Amino acid sequence: MKHAAIVKRFEEYLRERQLKLTAQRRRVFERSFATHEHFTAETLYEWLRDEDGPPVSRATVYRTLDLLERGGFIESLDIGRGGLVYEHVLGHRHHDHMICLECGRIEEFHDERIEALQEEAARSRGFEIEAHVHRLTGRCRACRNRGASRGGAGRGSKRA
């Protein structure tokens, strides 16, 4: 989906709720879609604070992220570190996440076999899936290798 179409959809979403597309909301929207990183609300606030443009309050960042999430423009992900990260999803293919509990690295992946198994499990139980979140947590290769190089077996490793 092209950016112009996403902007138009956001404008319509706000209009339906009798909300205005303020310069501050536009900045939050645009900055959220300008990155391909996962970001926290605080990180987004810092980016906006450090860049040129109309000032945006922390409260406006949080409220606008909530609007964007409710509208299906972005999704939040609980990475198990006491906060949420966000990513824009409109116009992107569905994917799942692997999250390193040690360094916080997030790796996106898509596996048709997992998708098919989820559909099969739902269908066999008469359940219709509207959305799902698949999150794998553990330790990435780099963190496991660092643990091994320090001579430790590493958290969660199996010993013979």
Statement: residue 156 has pLDDT above 70: no
pLDDT at 160 over 60: no
Domain regions of the chain by residue span: 1-92, 93-153
Summarize pLDDT for 27-83 with one digit per residue, the tens: 999 999 999 889 999 999 999 999 999 999 999 999 999 999 999 999 998 887 778
Global pTM reads 0.77
Class of 93-153 in CATH: alpha beta
pLDDT band, very low/low/confident/very high, at 155 (cuts 50, 70, 90): very low
Pick the closest to residue 78 from 48, 58, 106 (CA basis).
106
Q: Looking at domain 1-92, which of 3.90.1150.10, 1.10.10.10, 1.10.3720.10, 1.10.30.50 is its CATH number? A: 1.10.10.10
CA distances from 116 to 27, 32, 113, 129, 136 (A): 38, 31, 5, 12, 17
Other residues' Cβ atoms within 10 Å of the Cβ of residue 132: 12
Asked whether the predicted pLDDT for residue 153 surpasses 80, the reply is no
Q: What angle do CA 22, 24, 25 make, to 5 degrees?
A: 65
- For residue 151, what pLDDT is reported? 66
pLDDT of residue 101: 86
Do domains 1-92 and 93-153 share one topology? The answer is: no
Mean pLDDT of the 106-111 span:
89
Distance of CA 52 to CAs 27, 49, 93, 121, 136, Å?
10, 8, 32, 50, 38
From 83, 86, 84, select the one nearest 69 (Cα to Cα). Answer: 86
Residue 152 has what pLDDT?
A: 56
Least confident range from 2-16, 80-94, 100-114, 146-160: namely: 146-160
Most confident of 4-13, 74-83, 149-158: 4-13
Strands 96-100 and 135-138 turn out to be: parallel
pLDDT at 149: 75
